[in-house]
Amino acid sequence: MLKRAYDWCVSYASHPAAPWLLFALTFVESSISPLPPIPLLLPMCIARPDRALFYAGICSLGAVLGGYVGYGIGFLLYDSLGAWLIGIYGLQEKAAHLIATSQDYWFWVLVTKGLTPIPFKIVTIMSGFLHFDLWKFTVGMVVSRASFFVMIALALRFYGDDIRIFIEKHLPMAALTLLAVVVGGFFVLPMVL
């Protein structure tokens, strides 16, 4: 079953709609969804290493535009939708602490979290709730998310064949590792915020 799912992802990576789906996944991951775009980005870059930077650009654009939605949730809807999303992750106390203490260093929190696979939506929502400067928010998002996706794309661009061979040879372990990183981000998040 895992092999069929992998084969489907790789075959779908060349589908004309794949970049649109990649954009949509990245957009909603920065605002409301827990599903990261990495499981689609990896096979797309492996299937088409010549387009890896293009795919990184799509992810970066989706992340920044989705980040504005997250900011809007925090700015306009924190008491209802924003608090509910923060509550899903069990971060109410951490959020209150951040609001009280983070204005001076929030830009660096934004950049640091954007360079990790930790759910970015928490930071975008909190940025809106904190009424963090929109210009600094934009710069922080662009720097962190573009760097994150470009690093992945460059690794796959230059080492894509080796990575593909490794993944296909060790598919269960590779899938488990990816799952551990994604799920682990939800458990690590309360400790790092």
Q: What is the pTM of this model?
A: 0.74
pLDDT at 94: 76
And the tokens for 116?
């990790």
Q: Where are the domains of the chain?
A: 2-192
**What pLDDT, in 10s, does the model give residues 36-59?**
787 788 888 888 888 899 999 999
Give the pLDDT of the chain (193 residues) as one tens digit per residue. 555 655 666 666 677 888 998 999 899 988 887 777 877 888 888 888 888 999 999 999 999 999 999 999 889 887 777 778 778 877 778 777 777 777 778 888 888 888 876 778 888 988 998 888 899 999 999 999 999 999 988 888 887 677 667 666 765 666 666 556 555 555 544 444 4
And the tokens for 181?
């990183």
SS3 91: coil
Give the Cα separation of 193 and 106 in Å (integer). Answer: 11
pLDDT at 189: 47
| Burial letters 146-161, b for 16+ CB under 10 A, else e | bebbbebbeebbeebe
146: left (phi over 0), alpha (psi -120 to 50) or beta: alpha
